[in-house]
Copies of this chain bind each other. A is one copy, B any other.
Amino acid sequence: MPKQVDHRERREAIARALWRVVEQRGVTHLTLRVVAQEAGISLGQLQHYFASRTAMLSFAMDFASERTSLRVAQGLEKLGDHPHPRDVLRLTLMEMLPLHADARATSRMSTAYVLEALHDEAVHEQARHGLTRGRALVERLVRHAIADGHIAPGRDPATETNLLLALTGLTPLIELNVIEPRDALAAIDLHLDRLFDGNDRRA
């Protein structure tokens, strides 16, 4: 196996160990020592891959974003060659909410990451970059949906995009069992219904 691939795989195995720590014990226990233990390697070996907790968290966050994109892409495949933008948005939003184990780990890590970003300039830059890029993808989708007549031309793409991303605000309600997952889906569907209201060309 080429060394490059091995290195990448080792880092991914560490990222998965980090996920398990976040999922099972919580982000307050997320230290290099605990992750090394969970990954079954020594602290020294872990430090060979990540010089700091922040570096480890950054990689895990990137890896989580990739995994989320992959899950969205897999979901899109099932929607056929020309998926309706409403379905694409629904799928994306559902993968951003803590509705299954992988999405839950990503969601919790991402929350911890934003908190960390507030007091670390490098993390702030990376997190800001990631969220800006994700936001741009959603806005492009909204603009296309307007251009294609799926969403009314009078809608402001930027504000509609912010309202779509705001739906991740259902997260604490789900995590604390204040509402059921089906309530979250009902809210998302109602919001999407209104966004595509009167312009939805689906049969």
Contacts and interface: CB of A to CB of B under 8 A. Distances in A.
A190 interface: yes
Interface string A131-146: 1100100000000000
A50 B186 CA distance: 41
A127 interface: yes
A179 to B, nearest CB: 6
| A interface: dominant SS | helix
Contacts of A186: 156, 159, 162
Contacts of A119: 25-26, 28
A169 B135 CA distance: 13
Contacts of A156: 186, 190
Interface residues of A, number: 46
A114 interface: yes
B115 A27 contact: yes
A34 interface: no
A187 B172 contact: no
A140 to B, nearest CB: 15
Given A28-B28, A135-B178, 19 more contacts: A28-B119, A108-B118, A111-B111, A112-B115, A114-B175, A117-B175, A117-B176, A127-B176, A128-B178, A131-B176, A135-B173, A156-B186, A158-B183, A162-B186, A162-B187, A163-B191, A165-B173, A166-B168, A167-B169
